[in-house]
Amino acid sequence: MAFVEDTVNAFVDYENIEVDHAATGPLAGLTMGVKDLFDVVGYPTGCGHPLKRQESEPRATTAPAIQALLDAGARFVGKTHMDELAFSLNGKNKHYGTPINAAAPDRIPGGSSSGSAAAVAAGLVDFAVGSDTGGSVRAPASYCGLVGLRPTQGRISLQGAMALAPSFDTVGWFARDIDTFARVGEVLLGEDRAPLGAAVHGVLPEEAIGQLTSAEAKRAFPPALGRIEQATGPLETVEMVEEGLTTWYWTFRIIQAYEALGVHGSWLSCRNPDLAPDVADRFNFGRRIRSEQAAGASEKRKEVRDRITALIGASGVLVIPTVPGPAPLLTTPPPALEGFRTRALELLCIAGLCGLPQLTLPLAEVEGAPLGVSLIGPAWSDRSLIELGRRIMAG
């Protein structure tokens, strides 16, 4: 169990083991949860599956990203639930249940960093660490009304963390407020190599509004854009992708599944674990991908990166809904959940394909539930992107 009363099923039921942290530092006084794919000394790394947990010995060392937070004074509270092998956006784990989304209890929390988002949204910790491959920080942040970041690819060490699709995997985190979020960012990110600068311009893709799933979501989006324009000036509306976002989605999905099977295929074949049907389907899809298909998708990825880089330049941010609408209801049937996931990934895949930082801010509300709005910035502009977020949230 965690070192706090777990009211939302956010934490894995490990035996409590104290983890040393610095008595002083920039994060002194803050508590954190850690997704159970990061190594923490004294704890197994369960990766969202009982068999992985059973096979894992207590770790002798802590993942460097987590150790940096401990060294900065943050206090570890517990390891948080996640979807099986991090291969889902929903937060529904057939083995451990579904963490409660405190911002919308009748809706899913999002995944795969479900427990981390749930713990922060419920106020059980000040911030929590997750990982983001396809959207596993950004989607739950949007669903739970939190600030979340997918950083520039490769900016934060993933040593001591379970891989899913290495060319997409990143370390991310959640907080309820932008100031706490920025404090964590100072520790994890260091200094920007390419800060945005003062004259930031915002770029609004025509396709973004078209991704919103309801009339109410489309009504909620413009007021959020107004808050952003107070910090960036008028947004420039552009056509982002001639061939449609579905093409980019399939580019992402092919590469992700191919890499995921490369990482986990041998373990799946040898151990034959009991997986949720949707997770199993994604690995099975990876088995059908030929190497030449993966190579073709990688070439297409370069085109996507070139297109977005040209649109935003060195001082622009792409402004999009983080996901197409509020979190789906817990009662949503599996086919509808999969359909929403596909539509969400059409937005979420943009930053992943390009390796760019994406900050999601809780700027809108639809049907009484949160909806995040995102800023995608140039590579290595993460800290200044967070500072832009601070100005927007203050406006």
Residue 171's beta-bridge partner residues? 131
**Cα separation, 25 vs 8, whole angstroms:** 30
> What's the pLDDT band for 1 if we cut at 50, 70, 90?
low
Longest dimension (CA), the chain: 56
| pLDDT value, residue 208 | 84
**Cα separation, 113 vs 138, whole angstroms:** 9
Nearest Cα residue to 135 out of 351, 283, 356: 351
pLDDT reading at 222 higher than 90: yes
> Considering only 161-165, 337-341, 391-395, which range has the smallest mean pLDDT?
391-395
Q: Which residue in this structure is represented by tokens 């794919």?
A: 37
Q: Which residue in this structure is represented by tokens 């004259």?
A: 199
| pLDDT value, residue 199 | 87
239-249: per-residue pLDDT in tens?
999 888 999 99
CB 39 within 8 A of CB 30: no
The two tokens of residue 365 are: 């509300």
pLDDT reading at 285 higher than 80: yes
Peptide bond into 112 cis (omega under 30): yes
> What's the pLDDT band for 3 if we cut at 50, 70, 90?
confident
Q: What is the DSSP letter of 59?
A: B
**Cα separation, 8 vs 244, whole angstroms:** 39
Q: Which of 113, 136, 142, 374 is catalytic?
A: 136
Mean pLDDT of 124-144: 98
**Cα separation, 184 vs 130, whole angstroms:** 13
Nearest Cα residue to 77 out of 138, 123, 111: 123
Percentage with pLDDT > 90 across the chain: 96
Nearest Cα residue to 67 out of 156, 168, 181: 156
Exposed, middle or buried by CB within 10 Å (0-12, 13-18, 19+), for 25? middle
CB atoms within 10 A of CB 236: 14
**Cα separation, 86 vs 299, whole angstroms:** 26
Q: For residue 112, indicate whether it is catalytic.
A: yes
Alpha helix (H) residue ranges in the chain: 50-55, 64-71, 114-121, 138-144, 178-189, 206-211, 215-232, 245-271, 277-287, 291-312, 334-354, 382-394
Q: Which of 52, 92, 112, 300 is catalytic?
A: 112
**Cα separation, 33 vs 119, whole angstroms:** 7
Instruction: Give me the residue spans of the domains in the chain.
Output: 201-243+300-357+371-377, 245-287
pLDDT reading at 198 higher than 90: no
Name the 3-class secondary structure at 276. coil
Q: For residue 218, indicate whether it is catalytic.
A: no
Mean pLDDT of 89-105: 98
Provide the terminal-to-terminal Cα distance of the chain, rounded to the nearest Å: 40
371-392: per-residue pLDDT in tens?
999 999 999 999 999 999 999 9
CB 112 within 8 A of CB 75: no
Residues 6+ away with beta carbon under 8 Å from 22:
28, 70, 71, 72, 73
Residue 202's beta-bridge partner residues? 317
CB 150 within 8 A of CB 352: yes
**Cα separation, 200 vs 198, whole angstroms:** 6
The two tokens of residue 55 are: 């096979």
CB atoms within 10 A of CB 170: 25
Q: For residue 35, indicate whether it is catalytic.
A: yes
Residue 376's beta-bridge partner residues? 318, 358
pLDDT reading at 353 higher than 90: yes
Mean pLDDT of 158-185: 98
| pLDDT value, residue 197 | 82
- Exposure string for 182-202, b = 16+ CB within 10 A, e = fewer: bbbbebbbeebeebbeeebeb
Mean pLDDT of 129-150: 98
Mean pLDDT of 264-273: 98
Nearest Cα residue to 63 out of 141, 156, 137, 138: 156
**Cα separation, 129 vs 80, whole angstroms:** 9
